[in-house]
Chains A and B, each alone.
Chain A
Amino acid sequence: MSSLYPRILRRENHRSRSLAVSIALSLLILVAAYVGIECGLAAYGLDPLLVTPAAAVGWLRSGEIIVYVAAGLAALVGVVLLLLAILPGRRARHSVPNDRMAVIVDDGVLAGALARDARRVADVAPERVRADVSKRRARVIITPTSGVPVDANAAQATADGLLTELAPRPTVRARVSVAAAGEVGS
């Protein structure tokens, strides 16, 4: 059980690579099968399906522009596959420690909670607060009402308190800022 939850949390926090792997392997299988068939046909001296291996090799060595284009495309696909394999593939989620459950929170939900608290502390209309959460940083921007000062420190303290209480993993640090220009009317 203690080993199950971390695995679940990891799976939920990262994108699955199975789709990319399936597509890449399927393509590889098709290409390998075709090359094998052509080589077999050539070995028994039969007519090729499309081209004989010798003709294909000759074409590759011909140095025509199309060969370089094809090589470039293949390299591009290779780079994309490499990135898919290497990059962590994080989803926009955080896990919240809990003794009894594996808890996953979408970043949008975290941002919503931060925005709601900031709105309450700053006493502004809901649409005056924008919040977004990335892996390690949360940004809260409060647009004040003209002539009504907003206590940025209190809002910052509230955001810090919420993040300390929730303790999402990976750790998120909040930065609350009050927009320099307010809006007339509230």
Chain B
Amino acid sequence: MSTSAPATAVAGRTDVAARALERTVAAASARHLRVPVRDVRITLTDAAGLLGITVVAPLRLPPLSGAGEVQLMKRGDDARSDIRVDVERLTGRTVGPVSLRLTRAVVLHEKRVK
């Protein structure tokens, strides 16, 4: 979003539709959760003027999982904070609350290095 810079700005404005924002957030979320984009559902809401994000995604279980609950929550929190930083950087919107719901778990194997 370009704010007013009258000297250089071209007349007109750049609009970003909600759909485009959703896809952007979905891409960022998928990247940080390390799951396919098509498994990520994004709901964008207005949170008192801020951009509220709800991410519904599967939990990616690492193979040979030794992850305890604490680590799981930490991963979620890290992902939320990364998503927030990414979305703010990409879209210029100030992000409000980011909620993450992990509705199922998938085991995605890393490709073996040959």
Contact = CB atoms under 8 A, between A and B. Distances in A.
Contacts of B16: 185-186
B46 interface: yes
Interface stretch (B17-25, B27-35, B71-79, B106-114): B17-25
Interface residues of B, number: 27
B13 interface: yes
Interface in A121-172: 121, 123, 125, 144-149
A184 B13 contact: no
A125 B91 CA distance: 17
A65 B74 CA distance: 84
B99 to A, nearest CB: 15
B15 A149 contact: no
Nearest to B91: A147
Given A146-B52, A147-B91, A182 B1 contact: no
Interface of A: 120-121, 123, 125, 144-149, 178, 180-186
19 contacts: A121-B4, A146-B45, A146-B46, A146-B47, A146-B51, A147-B51, A147-B96, A148-B93, A149-B94, A181-B46, A181-B48, A182-B46, A182-B50, A184-B45, A184-B46, A184-B51, A185-B15, A185-B19, A185-B21
7 closest residue pairs by CB, A with B: A147-B93, A185-B18, A147-B51, A146-B46, A146-B51, A147-B94, A184-B44
